[in-house]
């Protein structure tokens, strides 16, 4: 009987192993396997429901279990709903072995473990959170309906008023009026003993204009102030002209004509827009000449001045011939209007001169007698902007001299990677990549206002907006800038975003500004170099009025380091104030606002090309073929 019991126990353990190896058995415990030396029939009869039918060994085993007092248990029913745990299996095995003679127990435990039984799979059961329900039948709990929350919240908390920086039309504080009216091109008489070229560098910005007069023979440059006082603000003139009746003026009279610059760089420019821009430049020319003759009369009293007007154009549009020609004609028309004998500039006179200039080619215009002492030019703004650095002691002509410059203006962001070289006193520029897009401060403001009006409408708050809402939506001639965040645009409105990705500020920066600078500009420049490591340590100049905003300042952080590119390390640099520039009160950190005008007043551009790959010479091993003497040469 002992041998029969032994065979029965082996058969039981075999069934436990089959339980774990069966697809229905899912447990993490590896059962001890039966020894291969035991001969056990493997032929089994399978029931239609997948269960194994009882064999003769099962009946033999059951009879022995009944004699030992072990109750019959249907194993398949016990695992129908859940997989047995390790504690249950251990407990059953312990009970069986406890009632087994010691000799047989030792033989069983000494048997080797079979390796043909696969390891079981663990199926983790979710904890039963409803312990009160003791029925074995599972009941599906109703799913909780999650109501999506709005990505932002907006509510009125008091009287609604727009931010002060948005409502005020920035005008000149204490405007400066030179004694000399600047109508005449010369201050001296016919007894001039000197002749020299003097250049008016005119930075026609979207928000404001800046002027620097350069005298290369004298080795001096003068920043032209437009208001009394000291510091950068006195050298900034809002880019707007007032139309009072039928006459143009720079003072606050009549109706302001705005957005002068942005209209000029569009593909088509209506005649009335051209007239406004020409009148504005003409008035600035008069002011600049009058200031120079008033402040430095002793220098130019006996000098015949050969004038040159140099205008800046976004570098990305410099290869568009129709825009270059348009700006040259604007320069000529403005110079002719500035020289009109009338003290008041009328709209009719401006339109007439514009039509005369437009009807002629640039070659014909250059040969006009009345322009014999006048020259004009259009220069890429970024080239002019870096001129101060290129002429400083920090410029090393033997270095790689690949630069990245990002000029954040009111209307546009002008981003460029270029290579600069100097030859015979002229600078040439190879623009690897250059993009100018309407991502400047004014367009950020416009995108914010569009979003706010939609949000106010959807939340029934549009009627609560102040009456000046329309007037603050589009102007580009602000000098004091805009609020750093969209949340600060209106007092009495509490605006908060629950998800940063839906904030229009985040969307504008990532989808427009960052894409332009990092994706378009930098990726485009990579096509023009032999190795990305030529960019490693590349000087980065972040310039322009918009660069003072923390919002745009984040570009520097994004260009400092990239975890997946060891070469992606740029060095932020600051444009230094040139020693030859006279600009009282301008601190070093503010010179970049005058850098374009300064460069325009001195820069003599050689060549400007786009996207030309530079092949740098590689070190070569010495060629000994010339010194080799063969037998045929003897």
Residue 584's CB: how many other CB atoms inside 10 A? 11
pLDDT tens-digit map of 65-92 = 666 565 555 544 444 444 444 454 444 4
* Main-chain dihedrals φ then ψ at residue 490, nearest 5 degrees: -135, 130
Asked if residue 241 belongs to a domain, the reply is: no
DSSP state of 120: P
For the chain, how long is the longest CA-to-CA vector? 144
Range of the domain at 99: 2-110
Ranges of H-type helices in 296-392 = 297-300, 321-338, 347-358, 362-366, 381-385, 387-390
Token readout for 409 is 């203006």
Residues 6+ apart with CB under 8 A from 158: 491, 492
pLDDT at 331 over 50: yes
Overall average pLDDT of the 274-299 stretch: 96
Determine the distance from the C-alpha atom of residue 515 to the mean position of all C-alpha atoms in its chain, rounded to a whole number.
5
pLDDT at 338 over 70: yes
pLDDT at 61 over 70: no
Helix axes 321-338, 271-295, angle to 10 degrees: 50
Overall average pLDDT of the 297-312 stretch: 93
Overall average pLDDT of the 506-519 stretch: 94
pLDDT of residue 56: 56
pLDDT of residue 413: 94
pLDDT of residue 610: 65
Residues 76 and 58: their CA atoms lie apart, in Å, by: 14
Asked if residue 120 belongs to a domain, the reply is: no
Asked if residue 88 belongs to a domain, the reply is: yes
% residues pLDDT > 70 (the chain) = 69
How many structural domains comprise the chain? 1
Determine the distance from the C-alpha atom of residue 502 to the mean position of all C-alpha atoms in its chain, rounded to a whole number.
16
Does residue 111 contact residue 35 with C-beta atoms inside 8 Å? yes
Which of these, 193, 160, 452, lies nearest to 303 by C-alpha position? 193
Q: Is residue 368 classed as helix, strand or coil in its secondary structure?
A: coil
Asked if residue 56 belongs to a domain, the reply is: yes
Q: Locate tokens 């705005």: which residue?
A: 258
pLDDT at 6 over 70: no
Sign of CA dihedral 192, 195, 196, 198: positive
pLDDT tens-digit map of 15-26 = 655 555 554 444
Categorize the per-residue pLDDT at 619 as very low, low, confident or very high, splitting at 50, 70 and 90.
very low
Q: Locate tokens 């110079």: which residue?
A: 335
pLDDT at 220 over 50: yes
Among 214-223, 269-278, 289-298, 391-400, whose mean pLDDT is lowest? 391-400
Asked if residue 345 belongs to a domain, the reply is: no
pLDDT at 469 over 70: no
Residues 425 and 35: their CA atoms lie apart, in Å, by: 96
Which of these, 225, 217, 178, lies nearest to 194 by C-alpha position? 217
- Bridge partners of 227, per DSSP, are 175
pLDDT at 28 over 50: no
Asked if residue 63 belongs to a domain, the reply is: yes
Asked if residue 24 belongs to a domain, the reply is: yes
Residues 553 and 540: their CA atoms lie apart, in Å, by: 12
DSSP 196-240: EEEEEEEEE-SSEEEEEEEETTTTEEEEPPSBSSSSGGGG-EES-
Overall average pLDDT of the 113-129 stretch: 44
Asked if residue 77 belongs to a domain, the reply is: yes
pLDDT at 187 over 60: yes
- Bridge partners of 404, per DSSP, are 417, 540
């Amino acid at each position: 009987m002992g041998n029969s019991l032994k065979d029965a126990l082996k058969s039981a353990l075999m069934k436990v192993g089959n339980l774990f190896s069966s697809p229905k058995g899912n447990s993490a415990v590896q059962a001890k396997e039966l020894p291969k030396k035991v001969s056990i029939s493997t032929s089994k009869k399978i029931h239609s429901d997948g269960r194994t039918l009882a064999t003769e060994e099962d009946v033999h085993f059951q009879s022995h279990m009944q004699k030992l007092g072990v109750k019959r248990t249907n194993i398949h029913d016990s695992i129908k709903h859940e997989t047995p745990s390790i504690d249950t299996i251990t407990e059953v095995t312990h009970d069986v072995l406890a009632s087994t003679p010691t000799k047989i127990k030792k033989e069983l435990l000494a048997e080797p473990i079979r390796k043909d039984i696969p390891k079981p799979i663990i199926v983790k059961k979710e904890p039963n959170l409803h312990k009160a329900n003791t029925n074995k039948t599972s009941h599906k709990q109703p799913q909780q309906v999650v109501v999506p929350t709005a990505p932002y919240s907006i509510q009125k908390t008091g009287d609604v008023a727009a931010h002060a920086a948005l409502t005020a039309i920035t005008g000149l504080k204490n405007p400066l009026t030179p004694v000399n009216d600047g109508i005449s091109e010369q201050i001296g008489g016919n007894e001039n003993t000197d002749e020299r070229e003097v250049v008016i560098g005119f930075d026609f910005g979207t928000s404001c204009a800046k002027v620097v007069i350069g005298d290369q023979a004298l080795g001096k440059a003068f920043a032209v102030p437009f208001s009394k006082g000291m510091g950068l603000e006195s050298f900034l003139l809002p880019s707007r002209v007032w139309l009072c009746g039928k006459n143009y003026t720079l003072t606050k009279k009549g109706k302001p004509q705005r957005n002068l610059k942005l209209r000029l760089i569009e593909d088509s420019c209506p005649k009335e827009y051209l007239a406004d821009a020409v009148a504005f430049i003409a008035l600035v020319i008069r002011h600049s000449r009058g200031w120079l003759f008033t402040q430095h009369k002793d220098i130019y009293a006996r000098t015949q001045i050969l004038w040159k007007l140099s205008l800046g154009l976004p570098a990305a549009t410099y290869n568009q011939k129709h825009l270059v020609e348009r700006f040259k004609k604007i320069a000529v028309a403005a110079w002719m209007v500035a020289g009109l004998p009338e003290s008041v500039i009328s709209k009719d006179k401006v339109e007439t001169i514009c039509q005369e200039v437009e009807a002629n080619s640039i070659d014909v215009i250059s040969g006009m007698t009345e322009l014999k002492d006048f020259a004009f030019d259009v220069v890429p703004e970024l080239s002019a902007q870096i001129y101060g650095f290129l002429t400083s002691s920090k410029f090393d002509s033997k270095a790689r001299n690949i630069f990245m410059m990002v000029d954040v203006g009111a209307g546009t962001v002008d981003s460029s990677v270029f290579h600069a070289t100097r030859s015979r006193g002229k600078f040439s520029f190879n623009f690897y990549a250059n993009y100018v897009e309407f991502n400047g401060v004014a367009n950020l403001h416009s995108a914010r206002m569009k979003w706010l009006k939609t949000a106010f409408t959807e939340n029934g708050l549009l009627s609560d907006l102040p009456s000046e809402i329309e007037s603050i939506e589009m102007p580009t001639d602000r000098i004091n800038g805009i609020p750093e965040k969209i949340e600060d645009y209106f007092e009495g409105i509490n605006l908060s975003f629950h998800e940063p990705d839906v904030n229009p500020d985040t969307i504008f920066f990532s989808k427009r500004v960052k894409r332009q600078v990092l994706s378009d500009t930098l990726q485009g420049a990579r096509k023009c170099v032999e190795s990305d490591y030529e960019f490693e340590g590349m000087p980065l100049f972040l310039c322009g009025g918009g660069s003072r905003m923390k919002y745009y300042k984040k570009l520097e952080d994004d260009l400092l380091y990239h975890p997946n590119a060891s070469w992606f390390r740029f060095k932020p640099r600051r444009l230094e104030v040139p020693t030859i520039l006279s600009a009282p009160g301008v601190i070093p950190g503010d010179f970049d606002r005058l850098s374009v005008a300064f460069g325009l007043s001195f820069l003599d551009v050689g060549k400007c090309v786009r996207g030309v790959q530079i092949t740098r010479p590689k070190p070569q091993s010495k060629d000994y073929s010339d010194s080799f003497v063969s037998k045929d040469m003897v």
